[in-house]
């Protein structure tokens, strides 16, 4: 904050006191006397130091807040910065131009609902909500919010609950026939890319983990295992995987071992396992040239659902995916429910076969016939 001398058109001297937070000009006031301007400036400084609301200029817009927010995060994680910038760019222009003091919870809620109506996935919109929450938290930390926090006080959107945004519908998981058909068609065009996708479907690894995979990641000591150690998303620096507990080991099927050995042949331990035709690291641009008919990430869902349908315990599936078991339960609850319902139907069929079905046309119509079949005290299904 500072005080500047200004002169009017008729030559009179005025004193302008300004408030700046970072690069953003958030408030100002003009006085006839310098002492009054300095006093007002000291008061605003005291408000900042004590955590009280400063006198924000009524014309300070959401756009100005966004500019200051971006400047404060320039040295953050590049991936997070890009995601936040994309989410902020999606805000309606008429909302961005409005004064910050006029932005309320209903405005933010309506924007997020419109994002859902446009077809964006709940998880994507939930991430946009996280960006907006960080934006208004920054404003609150800088004592710029005159109103309650628009995101924290917003009425809940059911689709953005932690369970709803994580849940994967059956339609998002390709069937074995779909995967086999897609890989078969791709193998005729680029067998090496088909191998990468098939390996992902057998191990549940992410695209970034497939890009970062090294020849040294396999272990054959007791059983074939693939040790996921790093992840490398396109355009960003290599980093630790998103695994819940860091490095994770995934048991390999004979087909997965076959693919691994074919691509590891002739390479050093530190070389990339999967490479392009020039021996360089794969890029997403190459993968996009060969669409599968469903999302690449769906191969991870396919692997997880396959393991669950084979009866693999949830905690083991979570370990192979690098997720918290609670997350696996939330994401794949319908797969588990599908198996339980199938078991129930099979038990019903077995019970009916054993004890008979009253509704069957071949059942006796003799009124003297016993009403139930089975041992005393046991109902017709043996329950």
CATH number at residue 227: 1.10.443.10
pLDDT digits (tens, 9 = 90+) for 165-222: 566 766 788 999 999 999 999 999 999 999 999 999 999 999 999 999 999 999 988 8
**Whether residue 77 sits in one domain with residue 43:** no
Residues in CB range of 102: below 8 A, 6 or more apart: none
Domain that holds residue 113: 62-166
pTM: 0.65
Spatial contact of 243 and 222, defined as CB atoms under 8 Å apart: no
Q: Is residue 322 part of a domain?
A: no
Evaluate whether residue 345 is within a structural domain: no
218 & 276 share domain: yes
- Is residue 193 one of the residues assigned to a domain? yes
Query: Total domain count for the chain?
Result: 3
Do 256 and 192 fall into the same domain?
yes
Shared-domain flag, residues 96 and 134 = yes
- 292 and 180 both lie in a single domain: yes
**Same domain membership, residue 227 and residue 141:** no
Looking up tokens 């069937």 gives: 175
H/E stretch holding 248 reads strand 248-251
Q: What pLDDT sits at residue 45?
A: 72
Q: Is 12 exposed, middle or buried (CB count within 10 Å of its CB: 0-12, 13-18, 19+)?
A: exposed
CATH number (domain holding residue 122): 1.10.150
- Higher model confidence: residue 58 or residue 216? 216
Q: Which of 265, 299, 333 is the last residue of a domain?
A: 299
Given 278, 299, 320, which residue is the final one in a domain? 299
Are 89 and 118 part of one and the same domain?
yes
| Any domain includes 146 | yes
**Tokens at 120, concatenated:** 């964006």
pLDDT of residue 24 exceeding 50, the answer is yes
- Domain-located, residue 130: yes
Nearest to 129 by CA among 146, 148, 105: 105
Residues 25 and 119 reside in one and the same domain: no
| Mean pLDDT on 123-146 | 89
Q: How confident is the model at residue 358 (pLDDT cuts 50, 70, 90)?
A: low
User: Does 9 lie in the same domain as 110?
Assistant: no
The reply to whether 383 falls in a domain is no
Q: Tokens 């083991």 belong to which residue?
A: 316
Together in a domain, 73 and 42: no
Select from 138, 166, 194 the last residue of a domain. 166
Where residue 356 falls (left for φ over 0; alpha for ψ -120 to 50; beta otherwise) is left
Position 337 in a domain: no
Q: Same domain, yes or no, for 160 and 66?
A: yes
Mean pLDDT check: name the lowest of 65-74, 110-119, 169-178, 292-301.
Answer: 169-178
The answer on 81 and 36 residing in a single domain is no
Is residue 379 in a domain?
no
């Amino acid at each position: 904050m500072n005080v500047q001398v200004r002169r009017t058109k008729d030559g009179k001297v005025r004193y302008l006191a300004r408030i700046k937070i970072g690069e953003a000009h958030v408030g100002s006031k003009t006085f006839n006397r310098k002492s009054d301007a300095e006093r007002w400036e000291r008061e605003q400084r005291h408000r900042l130091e004590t955590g009280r609301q400063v006198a924000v200029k009524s014309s300070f817009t959401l756009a100005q807040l966004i500019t200051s927010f971006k400047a404060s995060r320039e040295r953050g994680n590049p991936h997070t910065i890009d995601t936040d910038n994309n989410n902020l760019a999606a805000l309606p222009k008429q909302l961005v131009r409005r004064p910050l003091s006029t932005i309320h919870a209903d405005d933010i809620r309506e924007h997020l609902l419109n994002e859902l109506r446009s077809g964006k996935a709940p998880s994507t919109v939930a991430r946009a909500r996280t960006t907006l929450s960080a934006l208004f938290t920054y404003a609150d930390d800088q004592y710029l919010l005159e109103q309650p926090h628009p995101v924290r006080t917003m009425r809940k959107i059911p689709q953005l609950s932690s369970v709803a945004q994580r849940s994967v519908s059956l339609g998002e998981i390709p069937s074995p026939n779909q995967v086999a058909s897609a890989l078969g068609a791709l193998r005729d065009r680029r067998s090496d890319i088909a191998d990468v996708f098939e390996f992902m479907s057998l191990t549940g690894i992410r695209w970034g983990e497939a890009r970062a995979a090294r020849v040294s990641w396999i272990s054959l000591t007791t059983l074939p295992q693939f040790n996921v150690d790093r992840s490398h998303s396109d355009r960003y620096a290599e980093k630790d995987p998103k695994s819940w507990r860091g490095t994770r080991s995934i048991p390999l099927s004979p087909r997965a071992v076959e693919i691994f050995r074919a691509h590891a042949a002739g390479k050093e331990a530190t070389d990339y396992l999967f490479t392009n035709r020039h021996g360089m690291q794969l890029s997403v641009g190459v993968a996009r040239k060969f669409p599968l008919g469903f999302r690449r990430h769906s191969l991870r869902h396919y692997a997880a659902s396959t393991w669950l349908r084979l009866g693999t315990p949830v905690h083991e599936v979570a370990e192979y995916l690098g997720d918290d078991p609670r997350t696996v339960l939330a994401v794949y609850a319908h797969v588990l429910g599908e198996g339980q319902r199938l078991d129930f139907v099979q038990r019903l069929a077995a019970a009916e076969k054993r004890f008979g079905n009253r509704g069957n046309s071949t059942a006796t119509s003799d009124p003297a016939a016993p009403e139930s079949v089975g041992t005393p005290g046991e109902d017709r299904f043996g329950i």
